[in-house]
Structure 1
Amino acid sequence: MINHTSVYSMPGTCFFDLAPAAGGEPYRIFLSIPAQRPPAGGWPLLVMTDGNATFPFAVASLVTQAPYPTGTNVGWGVIAAIGYPSDEPYDPLRRSWDLGPPPVKSYPPFVEGGPPVVIGGTGKLLDFIDNELIPRIAEMVILDPMRRSLFGHSFGGLFTLYALFERPGLFANWIAASPTIYWENSEILKNEAQRQEAPGNAPFLHLSAG
């Protein structure tokens, strides 16, 4: 019989809430920083969407594989996952707005009597990452600006593609896991057709399905 339980937390992790300077509700930033001394060029940075859901998996994968780089080809780095001030894995309404590309559109509520579902805020989230999140983390830990990666799954994968097409120099690596390319009759392909040219080296894009 268990007589006493304690709240579990993942060692080496923390979170803080950060509101956009332009106004609006804060994001909850889940952060993992290696205990080791950073390399001369700074740590690589992985930014993730859907932080409440994805952060635990990413940290668990890192701490179990990074100690054995010759076998896993995984090294230490900083993980910053963008979530919301909630204990739930997702905030469906905010997630729809943040990760659903423009133009702004409204859809029926998720549940009867609920508020409408609105998409189109990806540009604002991208500005937040570029102008506020990355600089804030860079104040806390030394980062390598040439080794930044963005990960998103499903709607987060769609956001990753949108961000790549709009601001290809922001990250070196882009991981779009099962992106909802079909959304709104594959409207994201219009963004791809008008994509910005990447400065310097071509970005790396990893696409997966399933």
Structure 2
Amino acid sequence: MTWNETSPPLASMLPNTRYFELESSTVGGSFGVWVTVPPRYESEPTARYPAIYLPDGNLMAPLTAPHTMMIRDDPINPIQPHIQVCVGYVGPDVDRQLAVRARDLLPPGEPLLPTTSAESLNLLVEAGLLDADAAKLYLHNLQNPAADKFLAFLVEELHPLITAEFRIDDASTGLFGYSYGGLFAIYAALQRTIFSKVGAGSPGIIGFESKVFQLYDSEAKKDSDYSDRMLHITVNETEITRVSAYQAYVGVGTAEFITHAGKKPLRGHVLSSHIIPAQSHATGNTSSWFSFLRQCYSQESPEMEIMRQG
């Protein structure tokens, strides 16, 4: 018996998924985009679906896209069918995405963690996670973040391409991010762009120093109208209960932001939060994603609808 190593087609791993690459003039970088449509997309030619965008696409596409085959018809927690748009990196940026994503996901002027230095980033080199050049790039991007440009890329460059190619319902466009992606999601939610349903999983918020606190207070002072907008924030249990760097820089900051926002809610805004049981920062991203879907895109199961109608 013999076996052969091959490069399988995308469809063998990610059903109903198409892959695109594009250059962003706004960001000045290249991106890969995985677009996954619901299973009955072709057989329902008049139906339109909300688009949900996810940064960190190289990781999130293989983690989340396969579940689109099942979650619509889940008899317990059915999810509204949607088009999932995962945005990641291509070429050399794939190997150094830990460094590149800091450019795209941190708000402009975001303060550095107290422990961040060239010496501390060398630990990533010693661990084999980055090479020396990528570590230097990481520090540069942490010091010069540009989430405003990445947000403009999603809204002004990518979304028009998505709406031209797929049947999109713009009434409830979504965004979900995890870790620094969660920080980006909160930053984007407070810009009042196309994203009306936003999920932030374990956001990398520095307590009362992150730019999102200032942005939130500015929106509250202006009495901005956030009607029909939702923000769902999750944090993993062990990020709160276990002593680690995540406790200080994720658990505490997330709790402070939820408390701060709860004390002075934005007009019309729906804020919700959930603690993901047992998970750590390394394992909680898919659970956070499903928590967001259940909170913001749930739909009634056929069994419950029959019971309700009596």
Length-normalised TM-score, structure 1? 0.85
Distance 2:209 2:146 in 1: 19
Which residue of structure 2 aligns with residue 43 of structure 1? Answer: 49
CA root-mean-square deviation: 2.6
Determine helix, strand or coil for the equivalent of 1:139.
helix
Assess, with a 3 A threshold, how the Cα gap between structure 1 residues 193 and 139 changes in structure 2: closer, same or farther: same
Residue 188 of structure 1 aligns to a residue in which SS? helix
* SS across alignment from 2:50: strand
1:206, 1:62 → 2: CA distance? 20
Percent identity among equivalent residues? 22
Matched residue type, 2:146: G
State the partner residue of 1:150: 175
1:59-208 aligned within 5 A: 59-66=65-72, 68-86=73-91, 88=94, 91-103=97-109, 108-109=117-118, 110-111=121-122, 113-114=132-133, 115=136, 116-119=139-142, 120-166=145-191, 168-182=192-206, 185-195=209-219, 197-198=224-225, 201-208=227-234
Rounded Cα–Cα distance in structure 2 between residues aligned with 1:55 and 1:33: 12
Give the number of the structure whose residues are more often strand, by fraction: 1
Instruction: Report the Cα offset of residue 64 of structure 1.
Output: 2.4
Distance in 1 between residues matched to 2:4 and 2:31, nearest whole Å: 33
Cα separation, partners in 2 of 1:89 and 1:183, compared to 1, 3 Å: farther
Secondary structure of 1:43's aligned partner? coil
Aligned residues: 207
Q: Deviations over 1:67-118 (max 9, x none)?
A: x154331132211111000595860121001001111778644336432332
- 1:204 alignment partner AA: M
Contact 2:18 2:35 in 1 (8 A): yes
Q: 1:185 to 1:17 in 2, by over 3 A?
A: same
Give the whole-Å Cα distance in 2 for the aligned partners of 1:184 and 1:92: 25
Unmatched segments (≥5 aa) in structure 1: none
What is the distance in 1 between the residues matched to 2:99 and 2:217? 29
TM-score of the aligned structures, taking structure 2 as reference length: 0.60
Give the superposition deviation at 1:137.
Answer: 0.4
Q: Would the alpha carbon gap of residues 23 and 129 (structure 1) be closer, same or farther in structure 2, given more than 3 Å must change?
A: closer
Q: 1:21 is matched with which residue?
A: 25
Shift, 1:156, TM fit: 0.2
Runs ≥4 residues deviating over 4 A: 37-41, 86-90, 104-107
CA distance in 2 between counterparts of 1:144 and 1:118 reads 35
1:31 shift after superposition? 1.1
Amino acid at match of 2:212: I
**Partner secondary structure for residue 108 of structure 2:** coil
Partner of 2:64: 58
More displaced stretch, 30-39 vs 142-151: 30-39
Q: Conserved in 1, the CA contact under 8 Å of 2:27 and 2:153?
A: no
Cα distance in 2, alignment partners of residues 194 and 39 from structure 1: 43
Using the TM superposition, give the Cα deviation of residue 41 of structure 1 relative to its aligned residue in structure 2, in angstroms. Answer: 6.0
Q: Is the 8 A contact 1:46 1:151 kept in 2?
A: yes
